[in-house]
Chains A and B, each alone.
Chain A
Amino acid sequence: MAALAAPTWRMGTTSLFPRLFSSTQQTRFALPFFPGVTLTIPIGIQLGLPSIPSILEGIWEGILKAVPKKKTSHMKKRHRQMAGKALKDVTSLCKCPACGETKRMHHLCPHCVSSEQLLHSLQRRKAHPADIFSLAPTPNSILSASGSSSLLVHSTTESTFPLIQTIPNAHKLGCHHVCTAKGGLGNVAASVGFGGEIKIWNKSQNKNEWALDWEIPPSGDVWAVALSENEEYLACTTSDGRIQVWDLNAKQVIQTYETGARGGGSFAMSVDLSRDGKFTASGHESGAVYVFNNDAGRMVYSLSGLAKPVRAVAFSPGCKRLAAAGNAGIIALYDMQHGEHVGNLTTPNARPAWITSLDWSDTGDYILSGSLDGKVKVWDVTRGACVATHSETEGALWSVRWLPKNERALGPGMGKGEMFCAAGASRSLTFYREATGI
């Protein structure tokens, strides 16, 4: 009641205020400093001075109401925002057949992948007489190319990884790249020799042996090659920075991408075709990574981030990400929908070694990398961290590859775990696998 009366009174008696001020001075000072004196106000009312305490009461109320209370608190806001949006429970869990721990379905078991659990399963010592420069896995075998003239094929369906075929005199000057289709049937392989010639190999179904299909004669300095998943297209790079896409059925070039003025591009050291066949990516000496759209026949992204030569590029199995690595010693990840740099995989090492080879696991969860210091690393892409490092191999690594899982798992004594193979200057093929819990 007094609170409502006070403003009206104040409006009318402004001129009276100085006089009132002097007479009520004592009480007014008492109020803020001595809370107990507030009792004097009702006393004042009882004493028959109704107007003055009610005025004081009004002022006091005004002071209390000075802070606005309309703002929604942060907590309240968060509560409202997040209502009904909490993380859903992950129900797609299963038991890891290898170690028995719970893991997500269709994902690698994190317990098995951690370094203690990965087993160095077998080494084919001195498989080649010279450095092994490249590996190419098929569903049931692995091809290896080295500085010597022949290509070797080792079976991956048996636990001893026996040599099943030697292709002699494949490349007289030695072979630096061999590739098969990732996720493909594994009936076509392509290899490039130091002389610059590309050879296409076919696996005959009845004899299960590789035989030469046809040869692209040396034209310029051909370096890296990649095959598309359907084994119909081949991408190759040259030292003057061109990328050619061949149609293997028609045996002709269907696309040529130039990355510099005629003959002046930077050396294209690596190439990859995405599994959906939509993109071609090339990594260059200058540190540039270019992505081309095969349908449109033009460059879609020019990706920066690595200033040093890029020795490996790899599309994720879902074609959503591109990984690139090289002399910088870090793995850069790019998003393929918008061409953005989305992250780096690094170790807090002072001076990382040059990375020579990259490979995505079939699920796209893990990246395998091999480097010149002989270390093979497994990276968890979602966590952005290195989950396993192996450095038993005594030589520089030139190539690391996951082995496809489907047929291999049916072989006796092979288990269901993931496997990969590493090779390089040690001239040996080293196979690693997840622990099988035996």
Chain B
Amino acid sequence: MSWANQQTQILCYYYLYTCKIFFKKNIKNMSASSSTSHHSANFSTSSAATSFIPDARNIVSIPNNDANGGALAQIEDLLESIVDAIEAGSELIIPYRSSRTEVDPEQRDARHSELVRFPGRNIQEAKRFEALFRIIELSHEALLSGNIITKRNIYYQDPDLFKSQAVVDALVDNLAFTLGVGRGDLNIVAAAKGLISGPVELIMRDGSVHNCGLSGDGGVLLPSLEAIDKIAFYCVRWVLVIEKEATFRTLAASQYAKESQAGHGLLITAKGFPDLATRRFLSLLHSIRPELLLFGLVDFDPHGIAILRTYKYGSQRLEHEVGATIPGMKWLGIKSSDIMPSSGLSRNISALRRSDSQSTQEYSSQESQAYSYDGSQSERPPKRLRIRRVQDPSDSVAALTQNDRKKAMDILKDICSSENMDGDVPEQMLELQRMLMLNIKAEIQAVDNYGDLTDWLDERLCQGR
């Protein structure tokens, strides 16, 4: 009974929607012309704004990506084809490919023709069609109006239909994959998860300014990339991406971004596995300021390396998203050499220290002198007077669980199958193998000095520079 109801309901819905499309199609040309003029106006105002602001702010405008037009056109083509089908009285078809399924080269074409039909072969397909159509419609609306909707918002549009957030996430990503565009191009985003802290200002398209250096220990929630207009970099020289929010908050609270030995920098965390918004933001930073050094700080465990690899090479499921990888990110730690300093695994460190710049060498010698004598030393640096860590990092290691070992093996397989062996991929492989050999893992906290990571970070950032 309900099945029949639903069918009729959906059909009615289409007819209503068809009218709407025709209406909108007519005005589309008009809106397109107006939007281009709007863009040029926007550009002129922004250039005028930058001329007013002194150079110290170091403002960089975000290039406005006009891929939206492509996505809009594709969606409208799709809707048009559905309208045609309705008019012809034939089966309604939405092409739909799942990015998660393995694609063999031979089956690629067969995969391409995977469809969601209406009337469906079964009730699942009918429901899927309705859900997918709802998303297409919402995306279309958002693209036309220029608004941005979140995946959570889509879910709340019709919780009964979608059943769970995971369904929406999968449908949205697969739709984007099918259309060959990014999720952001559909004007659908996930709610921000990333946090940013440091002496920069994000100037939004609506004119508001987010000062990331002001807020205390919390950092600022990373706004969606589409809403950012310009970024004032001041004299930021490095970006540190931290796996853990707790570490991020500690460093943000101590204003490490401003007080580091390595100069001003930015702290960013995505609280564990990175979301698309954070990755795209980092990718954008890298593209507009290539001289900015990007560092990744992750745990010494298989998940840490997986997170690092997600930042660098993207995730498997969202492979179709462009501009979401940061291959230039440097792996700052934690590595096996950091947790076993007394062992022979840390053979490169002394050599690196020797090749350090003169200033850091001076600093380090001065520092070690100050720490080696007792408190009566008068000429030691007034800042950073702390007890040198006496705890050996190898005390704070834990054994890998069987799941960890399995995960490490999976990453190793992944590395070997991708056959991308440049950059620090061999190092990732080596660290994973050492991890398995030693059967240990360690948190970022293993290298800190009673909760204070700044000494270690100073040393590593200066080395990496």
- A residues in contact with B399, CB < 8 Å: 267, 285, 309
Which residues from 374 to 395 on chain A have a C-beta closer than 8 Å to any C-beta of chain B?
Answer: 374, 393-395
Question: Bound state CA distance, A16 and B413, in angstroms?
Answer: 114
Q: Which of B402, B405, B433 has the most CB of A within 10 A?
A: B433
A372–B412 alpha-carbon span in the complex (Å): 23
Contact A373 B347 (CB under 8 A): no
B167 within 8 A of A: no
Q: How far is B413's CA from A221's CA once the two chains are assembled, in angstroms? A: 14
B437 CB–A CB distance under 8 Å: yes
The CA-CA distance from A129 to B402 in the complex, in Å, is: 28
CB-based contact B412/A396 at 8 Å:
no
B436 touches A194 (CB 8 A): yes
Q: Does B381 contact A (CB under 8 A)?
A: no
Flag if A176 contacts B433 (CB, 8 Å). Answer: yes
CB of A133 closer than 8 Å to a CB of B: yes
In the complex, whether A151 has a CB less than 8 A from a CB of chain B is: no
Contacts of B439 in A (CB 8 A): 267, 269, 285, 309
B405 to chain A, nearest CB (A): 6
Complex alpha-carbon distance, A285 and B401, angstroms: 11
Contact A176 B405 (CB under 8 A): no
User: Does B344 sit within 8 A of A, measured CB to CB?
Assistant: yes
Is B32 interfacial (CB-CB < 8 Å)? no
Residue numbers in A under 8 Å from B426 (CB-CB): 129-130
Interface string of A290-326 (1 = CB under 8 A from B): 0000000000000000000100000000000000000
B-side contacts of A353, CB under 8 Å: 342-343
Given contacts A130-B426, A309-B399, contact A395 B342 (CB under 8 A): no
**A173 interfacial contact with B, CB 8 Å:** yes
A194-B409, A240-B402, A267-B399 are contacts. A174–B433 as well, Cβ < 8 Å?
yes
Which residues on B sit within 8 Å (CB–CB) of A393? Answer: 344
Contact indicator B343/A396 (Cβ below 8 Å): yes
Give Cα distance in the complex from A178 to B347, angstroms. Answer: 25
- Is A221 within 8 A of B406, CB to CB? yes
Partner of B344, one of A133, A240, A267, A396: A396
Residues of B within 8 A of A133 (CB): 433, 437
Chain A proximity mask over B328-351: 1 for CB below 8 Å, otherwise 0: 000000000000101111010000
Chain A interface residue count, CB cutoff 8 Å, equals: 34
Given contacts A130-B426, A172-B416, A267-B439, contact A426 B347 (CB under 8 A): yes
Decide: A173 and B344 in contact? CB cutoff 8 A. no
Query: 1/0 contact trace for B220-241 toward A, CB 8 Å?
Result: 0000000000000000000000
Q: Are B344 and A373 in contact (CB-based, < 8 A)?
A: yes
Asked if A131 and B434 make an inter-chain contact with CB atoms under 8 angstroms apart, the answer reads yes
B103 within 8 A of A: no
Enumerate chain B residues within 8 angstroms of A374, measured Cβ to Cβ: 343-344
Q: Give chain B residues whose Cβ lies under 8 Å from the Cβ of A394.
A: 344, 347
How close is B120's CB to chain A, nearest CB, in angstroms? 41
Q: Is B385 an interface residue (CB 8 A)?
A: no
Residues of A within 8 A of B412 (CB): 173-174, 194-195
The A174-211 residues at the B interface (CB cut-off 8 A) are 174, 176, 194-196
In the complex, A402 has a CB within 8 A of chain B: no
A173-B409, A221-B402 known; A130 and B433 CB under 8 Å?
A: yes
Q: A130-B426, A425-B347 are in contact. Are A239 and B433 (CB under 8 A)?
A: no
Which of A130, A173, A267 has the most CB atoms of chain B within a 10 A radius of its CB? A173
Given A176-B437, A195-B409, A221-B405, A395 and B340 contact (CB-CB distance below 8 Å): no
A127-151 contact mask (Cβ, 8 Å, vs B): 1 or 0: 0011101000000000000010000
| C-alpha spacing A393/B347, complex, angstroms | 10
Please indicate the chain A residues that have their CB under 8 angstroms from the CB of B434 in the complex: 131
* B430 interface contact, C-beta 8 A: yes
Cross-interface CB contact of A396 among B345, B429, B430, cutoff 8 Å: B345
A residues less than 8 Å from B413 (CB atoms)? 173, 195
Q: Hey, which chain A residues are within 8 Å of B406, CB to CB? A: 221
Can you list 16 A-B contacts (CB < 8 A)?
Answer: A172-B416, A173-B412, A173-B416, A176-B433, A195-B412, A221-B409, A353-B342, A372-B343, A373-B343, A374-B343, A393-B344, A396-B340, A396-B344, A424-B344, A425-B345, A425-B347
Known: A174-B433, A351-B392. 4 other contacts (CB 8 A): A131-B433, A147-B429, A174-B412, A195-B412
